[in-house]
Structure 1
Amino acid sequence: MPHLMRLTTLALAVALLGSTSLHAAQATAPATVNDSAPLPLDELRTFAEVMDRIKSAYVEPVSDKTLLENAIKGMLSNLDPHSAYLEPEAFRDLQESTSGEFGGLGIELGSEDGFLKVVSPIDDTPASAAGIQPGDLIVKINGQPTKGLSLMEAVEKMRGKAGTGIELTLVREGSKPFDVELTRAVIKVKSVKSQLLDDGYGYVRITQFQVNSGEEVGKALAKLRKDNGKKLRGLVLDLRNNPGGVLQAAVEVTDHFLKKGLIVYTEGRIANSELRFNADPADASEGVPLVVLINGGSASASEIVAGALQDHKRGVLMGTDSFGKGSVQTVLPLNNDRALKLTTALYFTPNGRSIQAQGIVPDIEVTRAKLTRERDESGIKEADLQGHLGNGNGGADKPSKGKTSTPARPQDDDYQLSQALNLLKGLSVTRGD
């Protein structure tokens, strides 16, 4: 991609756009903001006095290390929901997740009014298998209330050895609380999945944006063309319940569908945080008609892709409003195997839209629904009748086929996906393909 502006190694080599989770992946960058403001001496004196009072008067002894680490956590937790102080274990977990393998439940977490909120469950994980849905509130972990817990504290409680059990108490859309039993697992997330939905119509699902997702989407498009034997007539790009991930991957995925123009730009205060990414002239999708599926679990990097394709009118967005996370987090390593996960920039779509706290609105709203298929009970057609007239224009008769079993297809039980496929087929008819 010679025309694609690359992140520098020191800036956002593995920059990440996603919520706090039971896994993570971010970037490293030096903090080089020049701020010549004088030190707030009165506030520093107050801090020292408070620390001294706690050490001398608190009911139990507290070490300086504990007090200072708690102070650091407090500084970060009050900035925004996505900034955090990463202790060594959390920092290691964060780095491991960019490879797509980590331990936990497979839940992307956010917060709402002091409660833990599920941004999205990740495909093929204990959370998705248990039926956890975007928007669920986690009100208890193993019977202990979560109200007031920071995201990182909740992650620590939910993390554990693979094979061990955990009970979550959830509230869904104002219903009564209910318990869900899960078993922790070593989670291997396959970033990209693809298959043919029907003759000429492909499907690509991205579960989260990992460092190799752009390359994997390119391979998936090539395989779909090969399996179809000719150019595709339509493609569904599924970003539902995709919590985000690596910024560079989101840019590379978008570039597979565009020949020119701006993809995304970021604005921030640290060095190299004001970046612009432009599309390469190559088009791996060959301009195939495109429907992009999004929902409330589509966050951050997913919204970058959806927003860019919508602004360029490259595809039709279908589904429900996305999550609305328009900030970039950068991991700033410290010198003691710890790190800061800090919100360092905001990103904007090509038309200058910030989706922060608003989300991407689909072009066609299609909510989740259950598909119920009615069987054709008539059973008999004209061609089944003895002595029927033939077709004067020629061609073979078409009697009833009887009951036949057909292989299950993803669109058979997924209303939003079936609607996306129907739209593509309708577009194909009007184009005369």
Structure 2
Amino acid sequence: MPHLSRHTAPALALALLFGGLPLAHAAQPASAAPAPAVAKDKAPLPLDELRTFAEVLDRVKAAYVEPLDDKTLLENAIKGMLSNLDPHSAYLEPEDFQELQESTSGEFGGLGIEVGIEDGFVKVVSPIDDTPASKAGIQPGDLIIKIDGQPTKGMSMMDAVDKMRGKAGQKIQLTIVRDGGKPFDLDLTRAVIKVKSVKSQLLENGYGYLRITQFQVATGEEVGKALAKLKKDNGGKRLQGLVLDLRNNPGGVLQAAVEVADHFLTKGLIVYTKGRIANSELRFSADPADASEHVPLVVLINGGSASASEIVAGALQDQKRGILMGTDSFGKGSVQTVLPLSNDRALKLTTALYYTPNGRSIQAQGIVPDVEVARAKITREQDGEIYKEADLAGHLGNGNGGADKPSSKKSKAEPRPQDDDYQLGQALNLLKGLNVTRNN
């Protein structure tokens, strides 16, 4: 487990979150936080502003065209207070709070989209693998301008999430704008989203592939098991190279990100956080164990790689443990704490920023890869009949000896992930190149 600073132990009670608010919540911590410590010297109450608030409340209640009760007006005031902070802070009503707590299991209802707000519109941070959103072709950066025909301009993120939520089997139409083009409609069917956070396989003999779709409570443990299985599948031999795929990973639980990074690091800082309250000061360092056996590593990131993904990528980049490849990451470098309130409600409040080992804040800037490789469509030459010199009648033999090599019809190989994924193919080629240079 990571070594923590002296402030870390009490702070582990905090529910520290990463990522934007998903359609039905991204992975979040299992427990919520107690109220954080507050500064002893409180500022005096702003009496003039409180009088104004009470006057506005009274005027609205008395003069608005429809009758309103105090409970509705006060809850709306709270929502207004939170909506004018950053996009990741929110007031959670009982249903939202319950779903947030359940989402750490990796199973929830919805479409499987991580969303945020940009210029008043709902923006896709990333779709989650194997969900209705990813199967429909939704991409990071897409703007959702309508939900079932209702414009999202000016809609709060919580309201947009509520409208896109629903029971499995229910249909929904999203109107999308992509790269400033013309709007188009996508018809989706809501489903129970069961997210498997870790996937792995051998790309070729000696070269492994490890994909993390989200950072859930058990992701660190699952990565350890996946690394062991990759070695077993490789005949018990140490891998020659590994691709760690964090593309379109919207983030999740802080502790899981630390544990994943720790599988690849043997010393040094992984991440630290800084905020105004004492409990927000955290430092996480690596322990000497190395589940990855220091295998050559390429980490894939893109614009859908957010928060916890950026923690892992930033730590591995700063510690020079792996080469980052792809495109700039999303740039969410803030930490959210869940603060339970009475009546089964809670605040999800941004309480800190996190920093990479070299002191970089990723907020609104993101991680820049070491090798930029944009997504590309792969086209192949059609297999046809190809003749070689050795096929020709009366051809000369090789003067240095050895058997002739005529053309042969190859049996159709099983499809591999790198065959249709340009960035992954480039990562594999880079690993092979690193091994060639090391061996020479």
Q: What TM-score comes out, normalization by structure 2 length?
A: 0.95
One-letter identity of the residue aligned with 1:181: D
Q: Is 2:23 the partner of 1:22?
A: yes
CA distance in 1, matches of 2:138, 2:397: 56
CA distance in 2, matches of 1:232, 1:244: 27
Q: Corresponding residue for 1:295?
A: 302
Are the aligned partners of 1:11 and 1:28 in contact in 2 as well (CA < 8 Å)? no
* Within-5 A mapping of 1:178-197: 178-197=184-203
Q: Corresponding residue for 2:319?
A: 312
Show CA shifts across 1:244-297 (max 9, x none).
000000000000111100000000122321011000101111111111000000
Are the aligned partners of 1:10 and 1:28 in contact in 2 as well (CA < 8 Å)? no
Describe the SS at the equivalent of 1:197: strand
Are the aligned partners of 2:264 and 2:292 in contact in 1 as well (CA < 8 Å)? yes
One-letter identity of the residue aligned with 1:104: G
Q: Corresponding residue for 2:419?
A: 412
Match among 158, 161, 164 for residue 158 of structure 1: 164
One-letter identity of the residue aligned with 2:3: H
CA distance in 1, matches of 2:71, 2:397: 91
Number of aligned residue pairs: give it: 433
* Within-5 A mapping of 1:67-78: 67-78=73-84
CA distance in 2, matches of 1:183, 1:100: 19
Q: Corresponding residue for 2:336?
A: 329
CA RMSD of aligned residues (A): 1.7
CA distance in 2, matches of 1:189, 1:301: 16
One-letter identity of the residue aligned with 1:88: P
Q: Corresponding residue for 1:55?
A: 61
One-letter identity of the residue aligned with 1:28: A
Describe the SS at the equivalent of 1:53: helix
One-letter identity of the residue aligned with 2:88: H
- CA 157–427 in structure 1, closer or farther in 2 if over 3 Å, else same: same
Match among 192, 199, 203 for residue 205 of structure 2: 199
CA distance in 1, matches of 2:59, 2:132: 46
Q: Corresponding residue for 2:438?
A: 431
Match among 372, 377, 380 for residue 373 of structure 1: 380
* Cα displacement (A) at 1:392: 5.4
Q: Corresponding residue for 1:399?
A: 406
Where structure 2 has 5 or more consecutive residues not aligned to the other structure, the ranges are none
Show CA shifts across 1:103-151 (max 9, x none).
0000000111100000000000000000000000000000000011111
Q: Corresponding residue for 1:247?
A: 254
Show CA shifts across 1:195-229 (max 9, x none).
00111110000001000101111111110010011
Are the aligned partners of 1:19 and 1:82 in contact in 2 as well (CA < 8 Å)? yes
Describe the SS at the equivalent of 1:33: coil
Q: Corresponding residue for 2:293?
A: 286
Describe the SS at the equivalent of 2:305: coil
One-letter identity of the residue aligned with 1:328: V
* Cα displacement (A) at 1:16: 1.4
* Within-5 A mapping of 1:132-171: 132-171=138-177
Are the aligned partners of 1:7 and 1:248 in contact in 2 as well (CA < 8 Å)? no
- CA 431–398 in structure 1, closer or farther in 2 if over 3 Å, else same: farther
Describe the SS at the equivalent of 2:71: helix
CA distance in 2, matches of 1:99, 1:9: 24
- CA 342–2 in structure 1, closer or farther in 2 if over 3 Å, else same: closer
Q: Corresponding residue for 1:32?
A: 37
Describe the SS at the equivalent of 1:272: helix
CA distance in 2, matches of 1:241, 1:7: 29
Are the aligned partners of 1:291 and 1:318 in contact in 2 as well (CA < 8 Å)? yes
Show CA shifts across 1:5-41 (max 9, x none).
6954764554211101123324522221215110000
One-letter identity of the residue aligned with 2:37: T
CA distance in 1, matches of 2:10, 2:102: 18
* Within-5 A mapping of 1:220-239: 220-229=226-235, 230-239=237-246
